[in-house]
Structure 1
Amino acid sequence: MSFKFPYRTWLGVAVAAAALVAATSGYAQDAKPKLDTGDTAWMLTSTALVLMMTIPGLALFYAGMVRKKNILATAMQSFAICCLVSILWMICGYSLIFDDGGATQAYIGGLGKMMFAGVTNETTNSLAGTIPEWVFIMFQMTFAIITPALITGAFAERMKFSAMMWFMALWLLLVYVPVAHWVWGGGFLGGAGVLDFAGGTVVHINAGIAGLVACIIIGRRKGFGTANLAPYNLTYSLIGASLLWVGWFGFNAGSAAASNALAGVAMVNTQIATAAAALAWMFCEWIVIKKPSLLGIISGAIGGLVAITPAAGFVNPKGALIIGIVAGIGCYIAAVHIKKALGYDDSLDVFGVHGVGGIIGAILTGVFADVAINEAAKDASVGAQIYGVGVTIVYTAIVSAIILFVINVVIGLRVTAAQEEEGLDITLHGESIQE
């Protein structure tokens, strides 16, 4: 008995097979992340917000806290650093963090993307696959800009402008770039499980420790402890702090690298922690000196922003609340009492706010990380966080000190006593604020 397979059946099988091949091919294409206009729009916005944190945010925040004769020089530092870092980022900074370094990948990236080589309108970065690489480049550039700019507050009113520029260029390449690679670029700290959502370790501990080292090496301001070194215009500082607070939503929520729920919870956490830290500092001050100050509440707010930075995309709002309270109290103690006890002149409390706030936030990320917020939290470890903090502190302190010593030998770090007395605005830049 013969069995005939109807040709219509063969045709059906062929059509089904073709459909299966097409479907499989389509799935393979879909597996590659597609550029998303919503994500791109959000990241463009976040990038602009983070750039605003440095200019005009940080420039005004710092300028308002120095004396009148140094306001323009202090603001000038933030603006000049923005320009300097932008060029260094294009030349090699981006490549050394995010390009595959081959055998040295654990410690530093490669030079394959120098001058943005190989970047096109179609390329993406594996850390943010739904946005163009151009946008990722610019977003990360704004982080590289603000980090060295933060350091300037520690040695405000006494460093040569030329020395400052040399220090920032060398520090960016020898300190910021390696640490950023270790945490975000595929280096050994990220591989060890160190969590840093938006830069608690890379940005704030890094800058805070460098600031502490710098202010100790350069020495105290003339008249420290005896003369009136009070801020000239805290209204400038209030405006600057407000711009920093708003810009920080780009800093933290933007680090989700997408317009999604993770960005939303990072934004909520940022607001809660900042408010809690501001109130905590204010109440500490109110209890101790009986008067809540504007400088105190805005300093507390910045401390809260710093502390929630590494945790923003890993913790829930309850965790953010606790982090904010602890940061407000901890930063107040460090910036006011520890600084006074040890006698170092950290002019604008870079270590007390950014260094201590970053350490608190980094460690508490390991305590409060919540898998319901971010699956990566399942690997959270206080031990890993402490390891990341320790490595960053030791490396940053040593290399920053070496850079400063070399610059001091070659061109000198500090302005003359006469220049410091007259003010850096007129002596270094030939300008002054007119009444």
Structure 2
Amino acid sequence: AQRHSGAAMAEQGRQRMADDRCNAGGTAEHARPGDPLRQHREEEVGRERGLHGALRLRRRVALLGHLGLQHVLRPPAAPLLGQGPAGARAEVPPHAGRAAGNYPMATMVYFQCVFAAITLILLAGSLLGRMNIRAWMIFVPLWLTFSYTIGAFSLWGGGFLFQWGVMDYSGGYVIHLSSGIAGFTAAYWVGPRSTKDRERFPPNNVLLMLAGAGILWMGWAGFNGGDPYAANLDSSIAVLNTNICAATSLLVWTSLDVIFFKKPSVIGAVQGMITGLVCITPGAGLVQGWAAIVMGILSGSIPWFTMMVVHKRSKLLQRVDDTLGVFHTHAVAGFLGGVTTGLFAEPTLCSMFVPVTNSRGAFYGGSGGMQLLKQVVGALFIVGWNVVVTSIICLV
């Protein structure tokens, strides 16, 4: 009975709408879909039948269709896990190689300036609390000119390591390995803090540290994602791998703290995050997601071992007062990232970034074994150059 009643009411509504159109000077079949009078009549009937919202929504969908925005409310069907249709609609070009981006030279100057600045900031962490500001003001331009610039040109600017095919996607060697080694070397020559300062050095503000860590993690997306100098597939992969490796490393470091110290540590979690970010930096846009997970596992465990175990047993590491542990979090993690990039660099991604054809990681066979050797040689050059130049600057 209810179904018959509802059908009767619907029929009455359609009949009344037709009568209203006829009374307005036209028949139902002559009324066009966009006719304002028809819309008004439909709205009047809709109010009485409780259909006012549905009719207004239908007209808005029609309006979006005229504007070419119909996919806003109803996207076209696509496979749940497939990427074909999505890739066809993507505005990010899948193959852009190292094509020059559309940006002024001033942008590149500032981008590289920030890279150089962060390297010195990291280096300063090894000398925190004991280097004279006047000496620091002399050290900065000398080290930038004779140490950082050489490494950056060799690996990024077309130097011999770049031409040879050594991979350093975003500064694992140029920034992190060099700052860790130079900071450790400078700390050796400057000497340690007082015994009181070394023994009583608790965290000053954990909340502020967490805020800085969050900003650092967020900014690292631009750090690694901006290095292709274009919005392409390579930059997208770099951002994803950066987050994957950092998250994995954080979890591994925290898990090790729980296993060996019976409780998690906020400071340890931040250190694990940093080592993960550093480790993925040399190969952020050159490895696949599964490799980023493996790199995160290694970066959360090996630097943890060198800091918690090796540091306490090594007389040299005990003698050198590396205030913030830059050697472990940046030098060790940066070297680890460069070597694992030589293992896991994917051939197709390498073709977008590396100037040497047929470059690949050792995991993919072929010339991959040679690539691993190149990564080790590149790391040794950065280590040796920074030890020599930093020592000369500190002694002279």
Cross-structure match for 2:336 = 360
Cross-structure match for 1:299 = 271
Cross-structure match for 1:328 = 300
Cross-structure match for 2:359 = 379
- Name the aligned partner's letter for residue 190 of structure 2: I
> Aligned pair 1:267/2:257, yes or no?
no
> Aligned pair 1:165/2:137, yes or no?
yes
**CA displacement, residues 335-384 of structure 1 (integer Å, 9 cap, x when unaligned):** 23222222032111111000001000001001000123342564141000
Residue correspondences, number: 283
The answer to whether the Cα contact below 8 Å between 2:347 and 2:359 also exists between their aligned partners in 1 is: no
The answer to whether the Cα contact below 8 Å between 1:303 and 1:327 also exists between their aligned partners in 2 is: yes
> Aligned pair 1:180/2:152, yes or no?
yes
CA distance in 1, matches of 2:198, 2:390: 29
The answer to whether the Cα contact below 8 Å between 1:267 and 1:312 also exists between their aligned partners in 2 is: yes
Identity percentage of aligned residues: 37
Runs of 4+ in 1 over 6 A off after TM superposition: none
CA distance in 1, matches of 2:188, 2:257: 26
Cross-structure match for 1:400 = 390
RMSD over aligned Cα atoms: 1.8
Q: CA deviation at 1:226?
A: 6.8
CA distance in 1, matches of 2:119, 2:99: 21
Mark the runs of 5 or more structure 2 residues left unpaired by the alignment. Answer: 1-90, 93-97, 361-370
Cross-structure match for 1:207 = 179
CA distance in 2, matches of 1:400, 1:250: 29
The answer to whether the Cα contact below 8 Å between 1:339 and 1:345 also exists between their aligned partners in 2 is: no
> Aligned pair 1:280/2:256, yes or no?
no
Cross-structure match for 1:11 = none
Cross-structure match for 1:219 = 191
The answer to whether the Cα contact below 8 Å between 1:306 and 1:354 also exists between their aligned partners in 2 is: yes
Tell me the TM-score normalised to structure 2 length. Answer: 0.69
Q: CA deviation at 1:292?
A: 1.1
The answer to whether the Cα contact below 8 Å between 2:249 and 2:275 also exists between their aligned partners in 1 is: yes
> Aligned pair 1:391/2:367, yes or no?
no
The answer to whether the Cα contact below 8 Å between 1:205 and 1:392 also exists between their aligned partners in 2 is: yes
Q: CA deviation at 1:235?
A: 1.5
Relative to structure 1, is the Cα distance of residues 178 and 293 closer, same or farther in structure 2, using a 3 angstrom cutoff? Answer: same
Mark the runs of 5 or more structure 1 residues left unpaired by the alignment. Answer: 1-37, 40-125, 407-435
Tell me the TM-score normalised to structure 1 length. Answer: 0.63
CA distance in 2, matches of 1:290, 1:249: 33
1:38-53 map, 5 Å? none
CA distance in 1, matches of 2:330, 2:109: 24
- Name the aligned partner's letter for residue 340 of structure 2: L
CA distance in 1, matches of 2:106, 2:197: 49
- Name the aligned partner's letter for residue 354 of structure 1: H
**CA displacement, residues 5-44 of structure 1 (integer Å, 9 cap, x when unaligned):** xxxxxxxxxxxxxxxxxxxxxxxxxxxxxxxxx99xxxxx
Q: CA deviation at 1:239?
A: 1.1
CA distance in 2, matches of 1:226, 1:398: 27
